[in-house]
């Protein structure tokens, strides 16, 4: 949708007048899954699709929310902004962010907000973090808060943890906030040290495939995995005190794994430690242009998420298996939290059409679901559009 159209839609709902427009992308993680809340490395990039927000102050004492994607609209009195709207409503994302700004001392006046997003919903491409950061950059601008992007990234994560109630790590908000066109972001999640690495893909393209399987139990399973990782840290700490699983490498793990009496917990920890190593290896592989190695690490990542972390499922596994059968595919894995959502594959540019046709057909035959495909374009992080 064109920018002009969005402003037109805004005026249709709220009436004519000046307004400001902001954009915040979705993200895809290339490698490093379920490592962020374990103090490890992640390697995501921002996409060119995302969420738009048109906003202005009004002279009423209510904040009005609308979205072109959902029917649900609401207006909330300034004294009620800290109350959650019914569970699952999209408005909770901007509300959670507003709460964080209020805690920083921002005194809100009435506002009108219109959201529009072109990230496939529930696909694990961070539509929620995208809405959070769109709201954050807009409020930062509207109330002259001068917050650094990293502060807004942390604030977005807190909104999701504390208000929405999903115990996510920092990867999504970080990728969405700090994204850089044609770069992937190598982030160490405990220190928040990071580096933008040029995405020099030569003849290869990043192809995202959506299983179109709704991520039903995702949130509860996600929190269950987090608890299992905490348990692993506790067991290991009896022998060698650590704060995060990201504090140990594979050699340490081999020596320490006997300290974990529960087999399942041991496997969860083994995924985190081995995945972390794969990211550490993948970053220089990309820098050196060794895409074949990068692809092998992606394959290793999926297999570990399937066997040790057990967050893939029939649909993601089928999509990855079919992808790996295509000539010109050098790596394929699930991306994001898992339990549905998307895969990411490195595909030779000359094989992209075959990939879409063949994988689409074979996946449908196996699961009955029709997948969607996107050739990823990597864009910048959240900000104002003038």
Name the token pair of 384.
Answer: 């104002």
Sign of CA dihedral 267, 268, 269, 271: positive
The verdict on 164 binding ligand GLA (CB under 6 A) reads no
> With CB under 6 A as the contact rule, which of the stretches 83-91, 167-175, 292-300, 325-333 interacts with ligand GLA?
167-175
The verdict on 172 binding ligand GLA (CB under 6 A) reads yes
Beta-bridge partner residues of 57: 111
> How far is it, in rounded angstroms, from Cα 305 to Cα 222?
13
- Nearest CB to ligand GLA, comparing residues 37 and 204: 37
> How far is it, in rounded angstroms, from Cα 289 to Cα 349?
16
Total residues binding ligand GLA (CB under 6 A)? 10
> How far is it, in rounded angstroms, from Cα 339 to Cα 123?
10
- Nearest CB to ligand GLA, comparing residues 37 and 235: 37
How many Å separate Cα 337 from the centre of its chain? 8
- Nearest CB to ligand GLA, comparing residues 157 and 362: 157
Q: Can you tell me which of 53, 185, 229, 337 binds ligand GLA, judged by CB under 6 A?
A: 337
Residue 169: CB minimum distance to ligand GLA, A: 3
> How far is it, in rounded angstroms, from Cα 2 to Cα 289?
36
Q: Which residues are catalytic?
A: 172
- Nearest CB to ligand GLA, comparing residues 55 and 344: 344
- Nearest CB to ligand GLA, comparing residues 171 and 382: 171
Residue with tokens 């402003």: 7
Residues in the chain: 386
Binding to ligand GLA, residues 7-46 (CB under 6 A): 33-34, 36-37
Q: CA torsion 356→358→361→367, rounded to 10°?
A: -90
The verdict on 336 binding ligand GLA (CB under 6 A) reads yes
Q: Are 175 and 126 within 8 A, CB to CB?
A: yes
Angle in degrees, 0-180, between the axes of helices 127-142 and 171-178, rounded to the nearest 10: 50
Q: Can you tell me which of 55, 91, 168, 185 binds ligand GLA, judged by CB under 6 A?
A: 168
The verdict on 347 binding ligand GLA (CB under 6 A) reads no
Q: Can you tell me which of 40, 94, 169, 179 binds ligand GLA, judged by CB under 6 A?
A: 169
Interface residues with ligand GLA (CB under 6 A)? 33-34, 36-37, 168-169, 171-172, 336-337
């Amino acid at each position: 949708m064109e920018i002009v159209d969005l402003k037109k839609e805004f005026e249709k709902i709220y009436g004519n007048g000046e307004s400001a427009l902001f954009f915040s992308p979705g993200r895809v993680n290339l490698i490093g899954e379920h490592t962020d809340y374990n103090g490890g490395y992640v390697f995501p990039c921002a996409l060119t699709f995302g969420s738009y927000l048109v906003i202005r102050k009004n002279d009423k004492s209510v904040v009005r929310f609308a979205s072109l994607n959902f029917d649900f609209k609401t207006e909330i009195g300034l004294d009620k902004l800290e109350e959650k709207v019914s569970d699952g409503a999209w408005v909770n994302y901007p509300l959670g962010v507003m709460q964080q700004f209020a805690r920083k001392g921002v005194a809100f006046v009435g506002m009108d907000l219109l959201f529009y997003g072109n990230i496939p919903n529930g696909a694990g491409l961070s539509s929620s973090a995208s809405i959070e950061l769109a709201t954050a950059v807009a409020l930062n601008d509207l109330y002259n808060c001068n917050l650094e992007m990293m502060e807004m990234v942390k604030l977005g994560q807190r909104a999701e943890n504390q208000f929405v109630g999903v115990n996510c790590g920092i990867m999504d908000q970080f990728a969405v906030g700090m994204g850089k066109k044609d770069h992937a972001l190598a982030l160490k999640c405990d220190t928040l040290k990071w580096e933008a690495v040029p995405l020099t893909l030569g003849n290869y393209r990043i192809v995202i495939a959506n299983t179109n399987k709704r991520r039903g139990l995702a949130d509860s399973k996600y929190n269950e995995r987090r608890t299992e990782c905490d348990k692993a840290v506790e067991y290991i700490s009896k022998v060698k005190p650590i704060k995060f699983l990201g504090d140990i490498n594979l050699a340490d793990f081999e020596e320490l794994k006997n300290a974990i009496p529960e087999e399942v917990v041991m496997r969860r920890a083994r995924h985190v430690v081995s995945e972390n190593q794969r990211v550490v290896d993948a970053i220089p592989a990309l820098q050196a242009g060794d895409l074949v190695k990068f692809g092998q690490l992606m394959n290793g990542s999926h297999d570990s998420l399937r066997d040790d972390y057990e967050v893939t499922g029939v649909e993601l596994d089928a999509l990855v298996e079919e992808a790996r059968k295509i000539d010109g595919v050098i790596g394929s894995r699930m991306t994001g939290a898992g339990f549905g959502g998307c895969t990411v594959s490195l595909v030779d540019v000359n094989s992209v059409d075959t990939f879409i046709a063949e994988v689409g057909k074979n996946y449908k035959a196996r699961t009955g679901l029709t997948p969607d495909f996107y050739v990823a374009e990597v864009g910048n992080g959240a900000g104002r559009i003038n």
